[in-house]
Amino acid sequence: MILGTAAYMSPEQAKGKAVDKRADIWAFGVVLYEMLTGRRPFDGEEMPEVLAAVLRQPVDWTTLPPDTPAAVRRLLRRSLERDRGARLGDMSAARLEINDALAGDGASTVAEPTAQRRWQWASAGLALVSVVLASMLIGLPAREVDRDDSVLRFTLVDDPNMEVHTSTQPFAVSPDGKTIVFSAAAVTTGLWARSLDQPAARFLAGSEGGLQPAISPDGQWVAFVVANHIIRKVRLSGGGATTVATIDDVTASLAWASDEEILLEKIGSASGLHRVSANGGEPQLFLPLSGDELGHNVPVVLREPRLVFYANARPDGRQSAGAPVRGALDSDGLTLAVFSPADGRRRGLDIDGFRVLGLIDDHLVYARSDGALMAVPFDARGLRVLGQPRLLEPRVSPGRFGPSVTLSENGTLVSLPAVSPLSRLMLADVDGRAVALGEARAYESPRFSPDGSRIGVGIADGDGLDLWTLDRMTMAATRVTRGGPRSTKLESWTSDGRSLVHTRSDELWTVPVNGSEGAHKLVDVEGRVLGASVLAGGQSIAVLRRIRVGQGNLDREELVRVPLSGDPKAVPIFMSRSSGSVLRGLDPRASPDGRFVALHDRNDNQVHVRSIEGGAGLQVSDTGGNLPVWGHDSRSLYYRTATGTVRAELQTSPTLAVVSRQLVASLPSAGTVHDLSADGKTFLILVPVDPAPKVLVTVNWAADVRRQLGIGAGRP
């Protein structure tokens, strides 16, 4: 745990790692630098900028006074050493360095200090040492602290074998802010609870497969979703789970309207918010669509005042880069709206937002789809905003399903921090020998050409993404598209190696790699294309799509095979037939022999395989998995887990079955396998520049918000 201010945090604090007394020595160095120069060594307008400076910005030693004694310069350098192992180890050593400077043993780099300067050194040095030593004894940072305004930050879990799931609603915090419930894969996949006074999380028995947790207002129960359509609840204190409802649609988030009633969002059916008794029953329509509303998403209930907030799709259907998939809606085309159950009033707030977090001193705090946390003055009685939104922190990862963030009633924030999008392309052989290719860029979805001589890859730049090819031997780069939207995603090469197949604006496109012509539609597919993979021989393509069915505004996802010539009629591989088999897939990959398609199902966060002839499928992973990649023999499948890359050996005849699973220890655990060469000898891997972020807990984050907004402090 850490207590302090961003500008004085040591690098290990900024990374959320464990700290010791050397973090205080770093803070001592920062204060001493400020006293000597009149400026901070690490600064920025917002907290993320300050933390970034702490981690990367070199200290400007030229700002030190010319007559600074060498001993003090040495003390500063050893105090502000980013490598904790090389940092000054004990405060007594700092006192010795200062004494040396006062005694004249460390001559200044320019001239001997004057008597007045010596007296200033003595006063400053002794005062600083006294304050720091006293702060260590009483356990406070080296500054006066108002305990009501103190902010505590630490990582939610440090277990390297636990993967915290991110989804529309990944975390829930009890009203008192003392317990956090989250979905994670470890020995068991389901819901885990972390009490802030305990060092480790405990598994909630009966929550196997649970996602989208929500804690009741009395803090006694946790509601959650299983298989994307079954709502269950379990006591936070322990005990068996009970089923609340089984719905005929897909739900992504829950909100307790009271201790006795739960609100739920239906993704596929755009009819409005629904409610169900917490004791069980049939869901009923709670808030129907009104006017130009296209759907109610991510409901949040505030008890004081009693208001229901939700996100509504824009009538113009505006979209932007990397929008998480939400039924017929996209999170970045959402504006916030509010409903008052007391009198039935509702109002669109006309501000871009994905999820309301809460009210802090008459300011509505919310998350945008790009991960920015915002605040805007809000009139709770009049249900209207009173000014312009203000950026609090651009710190939350936008995620694939929306920003992963929640806020308790007492101001505890739980969030997944954003990291740099930069990564390095690497080639690794089966023995783990790896070589990096070129510089770090914002690479996405790299794919080997059929002959393995080139690499196709998407490279993001600002709000756009273009496709490139890289020569495997020379790394010569050729730009294939220009000005592509951020939603562009490379899916595969054509079988002849002449073109790149990609999705863009929910459609299938292809573009020649030699620049002979621009991109054009590959084939017309009914519905919205979510992913695709060319089948062996190049005569057809496996497509994951979403279509609207029936008269009830219901969306359905299905995996189909589409011919690339002649009649492009889709042949079903797998489609949802009931609420119990709703497909929510990602990253379809066809096997080299063209007989199977592997994909990641978001319902259970597992990798599945389907035969293109239909029939029963196979769950391949057992403790969570995504991004499947086939081996060259079509009988092995690689996929990513929390602990690294796993190789599963499959039996494909007479029936599909998993023969074995084994962690590929020779591959870098931080990297993600995106492809395997046709000869099965070389992996194509992306390794992020920044390590995977850990979920961050900020106790009394509301105090930070008040300071930023200038609305006073002192209330927890």
pLDDT at 493 over 90: yes
Residue-wise pLDDT tens digits, 659-670 = 999 999 888 777
Higher per-residue confidence, 527 vs 467:
467
**CB–CB of 661/629 below 8 Å?**
no
**pLDDT, tens digit (0-9, with 9 covering 90-100), for 239-265:** 889 999 988 766 778 999 999 999 998
C-alpha span between 233 and 260 (Å, rounded): 12
In the predicted structure, residue 153 carries a pLDDT above the cut 80: yes
Q: What is the pLDDT of residue 325?
A: 34
Nearest 5°: CA angle at 642, between 618 and 190?
70
Query: What's the rounded Cα separation, in Å, for the pair 557 and 11?
Result: 45
Query: Three-class SS of residue 462?
Result: coil
CB atoms within 10 A of CB 446: 22
H/E stretch holding 380: none
Mean pLDDT across 192-206: 90
User: Where is pLDDT greater, at 394 or 437?
Assistant: 437
Model pLDDT, residue 360: 93
Measured distance CA(599)–CA(560) in Å, rounded: 13
- Measured CA to CA, the distance from residue 501 to residue 449 in angstroms comes to 12
Counting Cβ atoms within 10 Å, is residue 619 exposed (0-12), middle (13-18) or buried (19+)? middle
- Residue 4's pLDDT band (boundaries 50, 70, 90)? low
Rg (CA), the chain: 28
Mean pLDDT of 209-233: 91
More confident residue, 70 or 520: 520
Looking at every residue in the chain, the average pLDDT score rounds to: 82
Residue 587 to residues 89, 368, 499, 573, 602, Cα–Cα distance (Å): 49, 25, 19, 15, 11
Task: Decide which of 578 and 589 is more confident.
Answer: 589
| CA angle 370–373–379, rounded 5-degree value | 120
User: Would you say residue 218 has pLDDT above 60?
Assistant: yes
| 319 against 453, higher pLDDT | 453
Q: Are 90 and 79 in contact (CB under 8 A)?
A: no
Band (532; pLDDT cuts 50, 70, 90)? very high
CB 588 within 8 A of CB 531: yes
Lowest mean pLDDT among 11-20, 105-114, 372-381, 695-704: 105-114
Q: Is the pLDDT of residue 499 over 80?
A: yes
Minimum mean pLDDT range among 160-174, 308-322, 467-481, 529-543: 308-322
Q: Is 437 helix (H, G, I), strand (E, B) or coil?
A: strand
Element (H, E) at 101: helix 91-103
Segment 63-121, tens digit of pLDDT: 898 888 888 888 898 899 888 877 887 787 777 777 767 766 444 443 344 445 544 55
163 vs 416: CA distance, rounded Å: 12
Structure token pair of residue 633: 């023999």
DSSP letters along 502-545, please? EEETTEEEEEETTSSS--EES---SSEEEEEEEPTTSSEEEEEE
CB atoms within 10 A of CB 328: 19
Does 273 or 317 have the greater pLDDT score?
273
Average pLDDT over residues 148-169: 77
Classified as helix, coil or strand, 431 is coil
| pLDDT of 637 above 90 | yes
Mean pLDDT value across residues 544-552? 72
pLDDT at position 5 over 90: no
Rounded distance, CA 505 to CA 483, Å?
13
Q: Per 3-state DSSP, what percentage of the chain is helix, strand, and coil (rounded to 5)?
A: 15, 40, 45
pLDDT over 90, % of the chain = 41
pLDDT, tens digit (0-9, with 9 covering 90-100), for 277-323: 999 999 999 999 887 777 788 899 998 889 999 998 755 444 333 33
Q: Looking at per-residue confidence, does 617 or 683 come out higher?
A: 683
Instruction: Choose between 650 and 53: higher pLDDT.
Output: 650
pTM above 0.75, yes or no: no
Does residue 133 register a pLDDT over 50? Answer: no
| Tokens of residue 567, six digits | 């009649």
Q: What is the pLDDT of residue 673?
A: 94
